[in-house]
């Protein structure tokens, strides 16, 4: 009887893992396995140059403290990443260059505020368009603009407001090629091939690679179905070959 139960448990687990794998869109890889935060680490809002400072031991100690903070504020429940509104940012333990990212997110509380950092730079903005205290910042225009760009920059605010109400799931697709970003929210184009400004080095090119981060900013945030497709780096242009 015990052996039969063990076989049944193994088969059930295999079926569940097979179902999860089948849910991954063709050409994409899952960044969240639906069970735990494997593949993710803690990291605050931080200039990438600062993260590289210090000795190997000092960097390891910093990361250990960030991971402890992550464990205190980010959990997984019923296949969903849950944040309590506090703590360091949920950060991939790998760096990425050009990619397409799929992520579903849900704000739990009115006036919650979050975002998605690309190559550790802020951000594809996520907030509550009905939050009156944020009207002065433009929240009524909707989520998923490149909010940390300059005020007159294309892409700072979304082309259309496509948010679903707080408490409902939203689906986002982000394509990043070089410094240019295209975002669709719930099937609507909200950012059309606009450059993301380098937040930490004004006027400098974006880092060629960096982690993806999910921000927490004082309101509860849920995340699920996180998938990525890495894009090949563009080949350098080759000029004409001249004879001698």
pLDDT surpasses 90 at 22: no
What domains are defined for the chain?
30-230 (2.60.120.560)
pLDDT digits (tens, 9 = 90+) for 184-236: 999 999 999 999 999 999 999 999 999 999 999 889 999 999 999 999 977 66
Dihedral through CA 139, CA 218, CA 72, CA 209, nearest 10? 40
Q: Classify burial at 90, counting beta carbons within 10 Å of its beta carbon; exposed 0-12, middle 13-18, buried 19 or more.
A: buried
> Which tokens sit at 214?
């999910």
pLDDT surpasses 70 at 16: no
Give pLDDT, residue 35: 97
Number of neighbours of residue 146 by Cβ within 10 angstroms: 27
- Long-range contacts at 139-147 (CB < 8 A, ≥ 24 apart): 142/185, 142/190, 143/170, 143/185, 143/190, 144/172, 144/183, 144/185, 144/190, 144/191, 145/190, 145/191, 146/181, 146/191, 146/194, 146/196, 146/197, 147/115, 147/122, 147/123
pLDDT digits (tens, 9 = 90+) for 143-152: 999 999 999 8
3-state class (DSSP) for residue 1: coil
**Phi (first) and psi of residue 178, to 5 degrees:** 65, -125
Distance CA 104, CA 225 (A): 6
Distance CA 128, CA 138 (A): 10
**Cβ 111 vs Cβ 134: under 8 Å:** yes
Query: What does pLDDT average to over the chain?
Result: 90
pLDDT digits (tens, 9 = 90+) for 78-87: 999 999 999 9
Element (H, E) at 57: helix 56-73
pLDDT digits (tens, 9 = 90+) for 92-149: 999 999 999 999 999 999 999 999 999 999 999 999 999 999 999 999 999 999 999 9
- What is the pLDDT averaged over residues 5-26? 51
Give pLDDT, residue 93: 97
pLDDT band, residue 19 (cuts 50/70/90) = very low
Percent of the chain topping pLDDT 70 = 86
8 dihedral zone (left: phi>0; alpha: psi -120 to 50; beta): alpha
Distance CA 189, CA 183 (A): 6
Give pLDDT, residue 233: 78
pLDDT surpasses 50 at 9: no
- What is the pLDDT averaged over residues 33-48? 97
Characterize the bridge pairing of strands 213-216 and 113-118: antiparallel
Q: Which residues contact 45 (CB under 8 A, 6 or more apart)?
A: 89, 122, 215
Give pLDDT, residue 239: 57
């Amino acid at each position: 009887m015990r052996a039969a139960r063990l076989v049944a448990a193994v088969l059930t687990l295999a079926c569940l893992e097979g179902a999860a794998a089948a849910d991954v869109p063709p050409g994409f890889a899952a960044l969240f396995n639906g069970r735990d935060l494997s593949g993710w680490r803690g990291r605050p809002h931080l200039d990438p140059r600062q993260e590289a400072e210090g000795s190997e031991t000092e960097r390891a100690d910093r990361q250990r403290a960030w991971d402890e903070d992550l464990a205190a504020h980010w959990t997984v429940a019923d296949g969903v990443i849950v944040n309590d509104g506090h703590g360091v940012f949920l950060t991939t333990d790998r760096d990425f260059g050009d990619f397409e990212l799929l992520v579903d997110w849900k704000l739990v509380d009115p006036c919650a505020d979050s975002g998605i950092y690309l190559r550790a730079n802020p951000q594809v903005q996520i907030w509550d368009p009905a939050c009156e205290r944020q009207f002065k910042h433009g929240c009524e225009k909707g989520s998923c603009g490149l909010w940390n760009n300059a005020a007159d920059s294309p892409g700072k605010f979304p082309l259309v407001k496509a948010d679903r109400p707080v408490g409902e799931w939203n689906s986002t697709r982000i394509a990043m090629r070089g410094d240019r970003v295209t975002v669709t929210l719930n099937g609507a184009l909200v950012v059309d091939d606009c450059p993301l400004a380098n937040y930490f080095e004004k006027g400098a090119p974006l880092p060629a690679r960096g982690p993806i981060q999910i921000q927490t900013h004082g309101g509860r945030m849920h995340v699920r179905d996180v998938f990525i497709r890495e894009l090949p780096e563009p080949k350098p242009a080759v000029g004409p070959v001249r004879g001698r």
